[in-house]
Amino acid sequence: MLTSMTLIPPPRLALVGDRSDSVQAHPRIPAILGALSGPGAEPIEPYWVASTAIESPTDVAGFDGIWVVPGSPYESMDGVLAAIGTARSEGIPLLGTCGGFQHMLLEFARHVCGLPRVAHAEIDPGAEELLLVPLACKLVGEECEVIIAPETCAARAMGAGPTTERYFCRFGMERSYEDILTAAGLVISGRDTDGEARVVELPGHPFFLGTLFQPELSSDATWVHPLIAAFCQAVREHSAVPTVA
């Protein structure tokens, strides 16, 4: 039984990636989280977790949320994939942005779709099975339209239809793999005007969503992208669920 003296720790969020001030999104994240911790909103306690610090699911299983932040190639791809797999299988809310989006696709293809040899062209350009390939038009510092599909997690957060988003990215999903991933349950909930995947999510999960664009770049202490706000709400809800000993 909880008493008036019981201290409930704040929600704990793992920021998975290799922190660097040279990655535009990284210095913005603390201010974004602070903006979501105003009056009536429970603060979220962030922890930067280097990719090399993740060697098993237990290294991230105790968090209430996992945000795989931009900044690929990561020092340890295996560490990032382990974090994503843990979030997917354990029902931990997960947001992946830019490189996080790419590695969500990689983890899902390898461990759900049974494609262990699929690779990322940024890391292994000579691989025979490339799931992540160079974009036809590099989206480095660009703004482009994304069309959000109705009745999806993304639509519930930011509304269905067209939106303009900011990118800093050079790689995206090879379209020939789309049918395999969607047949296994992944939903493409946002596409660009050419129909290329820009937002993916996993239905039935508390929150498992990735964006090729970086919502961090349009957020600051005065306005937070609704996808980040929705993710943080899912993190709070996860922390409120009693843990079974």
Q: What pLDDT digit, counting tens, does each position of 119-160 carry?
A: 999 999 999 999 999 998 778 888 999 999 999 999 999 999
Query: Would you say 79 and 52 are in contact if contact means Cβ atoms under 8 Å apart?
Result: yes
Q: Which CATH class is domain 12-239?
A: alpha beta
Q: Alpha-carbon torsion 157, 236, 223, 18, what sign? A: negative
Query: Would you say 135 and 175 are in contact if contact means Cβ atoms under 8 Å apart?
Result: no
Distance CA 178, CA 196 (A): 10
Distance CA 97, CA 211 (A): 5
Could you tell me which of 66, 97, 71 has the C-alpha nearest to residue 82?
A: 66
Q: Confidence band (pLDDT; 50, 70, 90) for 245?
A: very low
Q: Confidence band (pLDDT; 50, 70, 90) for 6?
A: low
State pLDDT tens for residues 68-93.
Answer: 999 999 999 999 999 999 999 999 99
> Please, is 112 exposed, middle or buried when counting C-beta atoms within 10 Å of its C-beta (0-12, 13-18, 19+)?
middle
Q: Confidence band (pLDDT; 50, 70, 90) for 7?
A: low
Average pLDDT, the chain: 93
